[in-house]
Structure 1
Amino acid sequence: MAVDRLLFPRPETPRVSVERVPVDGTCPECGATSLARYPVANHLGPRMVVKCQRCLYPVAVTRPEPDDHWPAWRSPARDWPASRVG
């Protein structure tokens, strides 16, 4: 696990944004080919989504993988097995 997931300085820009990674495919709703994958804060918890950038149709919603580093504030011990000790 990288240190950058644990220590975060104050943002230097007035607006914080995430990188939207282009994804191959076609939107089933509007037919556009402009799909992107990026992290979101969902009512179900942190998720990675693939959305159409034209109509914002959610093509896929998945749980983040460790390589996604999302959420950035996630506990380093999140994936550890539970202990019965106190």
Structure 2
Amino acid sequence: MGVERLIFAPPEEAELHVERTPVEVTCPRCSSTNVARYPVANYVGPRIVTKCQECFHHLSVDVPTADDHWPPWRSATMDWPSSRAG
């Protein structure tokens, strides 16, 4: 049993979901107004996507800011510039 299990207990829900925030934008591909912004776990790290919910066209993929609170375990020093010392 690692330390991460003590800090982050396993979820109690059977299914996990994220809140999708509606955005007042029209999809350029299908002209739908059902567009949402939400966090994802991407192969390059945590990202915030703005995506059409009808045709799943990506309108934008952004690096999360401190105001996005994503990921929930985000380090307070994540945006600090690194030094040569490490």
Q: Please report the TM-score for the alignment, with normalisation by the length of structure 2.
A: 0.79
- Following TM superposition, by how much is the alpha carbon of 1:84 offset from its aligned partner in structure 2, in angstroms? 5.2
Q: Deviations over 1:37-74 (max 9, x none)?
A: 00011122111000000000001111101011111222
Amino acid at match of 2:56: L
With 71-80 and 20-29 compared, the bigger mean Cα shift is at 71-80
* Aligned-residue CA RMSD (Å): 1.8
d(CA) in 2 for partners of 1:59, 1:79: 24
Distance 1:8 1:52 in 2: 32
SS at match of 1:67: helix
- The change in CA–CA distance for 1:53 and 1:9 in structure 2 (over 3 A counts) is same
Residues of 2 paired with 1:32 and 1:24: CA distance? 10
Structure with more relative contact order (C-alpha pairs < 8 Å, separation 6 or more): 1
- Structure 1: stretches of 5+ with no match in the other structure: 1-6
Distance in 2 between residues matched to 1:53 and 1:85, nearest whole Å: 45
